[in-house]
Amino acid sequence: MEDGGARPRVDPAELVHTSLPPWARGVVPSRATSATGADGAAHLLVGVGSESAPVLARWAAELGAGRAAVRVLRAPDGSAARALLAVALARARVGVRVWVSGPVGACLTLRATALAAGLADDELVVVPVGNGPIDVACVHCGRATEVEAEIGDTIACAGCGRPLLVFEHVSRRLGSFLGFQADAGGSA
């Protein structure tokens, strides 16, 4: 940017062809609003932060009416929830479904944990609620910076100190946004 001005905010509707999941763009699938009729032998409900409580309560009530086992995991942040989910999935058997609610950054982290454990996207339901930090992975030093930011913002990398542009690409493996030097297109 030659003028040094702020970048305009990205319209979520423009992110249709990115790696950002629809639910992280505010498009929550209708199957996520209700757990009635959900398949699976067991269900892990994971909530991050207090704003996830009503969502977990609704899912638990709806799933509890069936014959599947239901386990609720609650955590104050994405890191704690990731540890709880990893342990629960290590003990899980075939047929488990994972239901996640919390801030987008925590949901991306939990999605990465579930995928690493071998779950497919159709075995995972995500409903983001509340606000919280996201992880931004620096392409220059490899460090992830946890920060309150949105796509298009510029942040300081906690590893190398470079000003990073938060890009709309999300790593399925890491659950983090891509960050690259904000002035990379400018002259040196």
Whole-number pLDDT of residue 8: 56
The model's pLDDT over 2-45, given as tens digits with 9 standing for 90+, comes to 344 555 565 655 555 578 888 888 777 666 667 777 888 899 99
Whole-number pLDDT of residue 7: 54
Number of Cβ within 10 Å of residue 78's Cβ equals 27
CB–CB of 57/6 below 8 Å? no
Task: Give the residue, 185 or 172, on which the prediction is more confident.
Answer: 172
Task: Give the residue, 17 or 167, on which the prediction is more confident.
Answer: 167
- In 34-188, at which residue ranges do the beta strands (DSSP E only) sit? 42-48, 69-75, 96-102, 124-128, 134-138, 144-147, 154-156, 163-170, 177-181
Report the C-alpha gap between 151 and 168 in whole angstroms: 6
CB–CB of 45/73 below 8 Å? yes
The pLDDT of residue 50 is above 90: yes
Residue type (1 letter), 130: G
Whole-number pLDDT of residue 57: 95
Whole-number pLDDT of residue 32: 63
Whole-number pLDDT of residue 2: 38
Report the C-alpha gap between 113 and 53 in whole angstroms: 21
Report the C-alpha gap between 39 and 174 in whole angstroms: 27
pTM across the whole model: 0.84
| Matching CATH number, 22-128, of 3.40.50.2300, 3.40.640.10, 3.40.50.1820, 3.30.420.40 | 3.40.50.2300
Question: Smallest Cα–Cα separation from 126: which of 24, 11, 36?
Answer: 24
Whole-number pLDDT of residue 40: 87
- Residue 97's pLDDT band, with cuts at 50, 70 and 90, is very high
Report the C-alpha gap between 110 and 114 in whole angstroms: 6
The pLDDT of residue 74 is above 70: yes
Report the C-alpha gap between 68 and 86 in whole angstroms: 20
Mean pLDDT along residues 80-105: 96
The model's pLDDT over 102-153, given as tens digits with 9 standing for 90+, comes to 999 999 999 999 999 999 998 999 999 988 899 999 999 999 999 999 999 9
Domain chopping of the chain, boundaries: 22-128, 133-181
As a CATH number, domain 133-181 is: 2.20.28
